[in-house]
Amino acid sequence: MQNTSLIDLDIPALDYYQFISSWIYYAPEGTFLVDPGPACTVDLLCQRLREQGIDRLDWILLTHIHLDHAGSIGHLAERFPEAGIVCHERAISHLIDPSKLWEGSLKTLGEVAETYGRIKPVPRERLSTSKQIPFAEGIEAIDTPGHAPHHLCFAFRDLLFVGELFGVFYQLTDSFYLRPATPPRFIPHTFLESMDRIAPYVHRQLCFGHYGTYPKGSEIAASAKQQLQLWISVVRDHFEQSDYQTILADLMDKDPLFNRINRLEPKNYQRELFFAKNAINGIYQSFRDS
């Protein structure tokens, strides 16, 4: 990890702190950035890069193209014209013309999307869907749809950049908090298949989109899969008759990892309640659509 660092992309207007981040790898052989964050933080990101003496990016890697992870990609592409951009093949059309992505983000997130800022188009020639990225001895892109149909993880040396495959993570003093990231449109079997597909890679140290890092990847992978199955089961039990608050209370009771939300700082606690509702809605809609 000595050449890899997390760049916080805090958004005071939303009270978002230690939530949105980029990962930067910098060494004599070159640099790559994982997930540049939303459009509203692109100036902050570039400032942090300058502070680290970074004036060139060889690659920008997108785990997925939700606004909080890739909303600034068009802006950043203009500032780093030398950088190759790697994304899922299903993301290509949305990066060339992000109008539908923007409309969907507004529908799902409302004012949060407005604060993130509008994503700018990226020229097609800048985009690559290569699964083997020619950097040092190689970066491997692994297809992991679930949180989004265009989700990738990236394996590099002893690191695995997992985006939101394993949900939202926070390191606590003596344990960790974990919460599934299952926004609409959630397809259970696709998400679980991706968790199985990534299994050969999870012995590495995990670098999360939200938030931080954890050295025991296999522990997180097992916990996240078990948690996702539990959430699916709980929402299924309440599908016909319960409201959000009842489902939330049942999850608090049955999921010890999610129950640790009570140990988060107040701002993080409130934000997690907001996104937990979105995750529950995704699972709920998967039953309604089936």
In a domain, 210, yes or no: no
Strands 139-143 and 132-133: antiparallel
In a domain, 211, yes or no: no
Please tell me whether residues 180 and 82 are part of one structural domain: no
74 and 175 together in one domain: no
Residue for token digits 């970074």?
Answer: 54
- 23 and 56 within one domain: yes
Q: Which residues of 213-227 are buried (b: 16+ CB within 10 A; e: fewer)?
A: bbeebeebbebbbeb
Q: How far is CA 16 from CA 20, 21, 107, in A?
A: 8, 11, 20
Q: Do 48 and 151 belong together in one domain?
A: yes
Cα–Cα distances in Å, from 78 out to 74, 244, 256?
Answer: 7, 43, 45
The boundaries of the domain holding residue 57 are: 1-157
Please state, for a pLDDT cut of 70, what percent of the chain lies above it: 99
pLDDT at 1: 60
- Residue 179 has a pLDDT of 98
Report if residue 209 sits inside a domain.
no
Check whether residue 107 and residue 174 sit in a common domain.
no
Give the pLDDT mean for 204-214: 97
On whether both 194 and 139 belong to a single domain, the answer is no
**pTM across the whole model:** 0.96
Same domain, 120 and 24: yes
Among 1-10, 22-31, 207-216, 243-252, whose mean pLDDT is lowest? 1-10
> Could you tell me the pLDDT band of residue 107, with boundaries at 50, 70 and 90?
confident
Tokens of 273: 């309640």
Check whether residue 88 and residue 126 sit in a common domain.
yes
Domain count, the chain: 2
Q: What is the pLDDT of residue 108?
A: 83
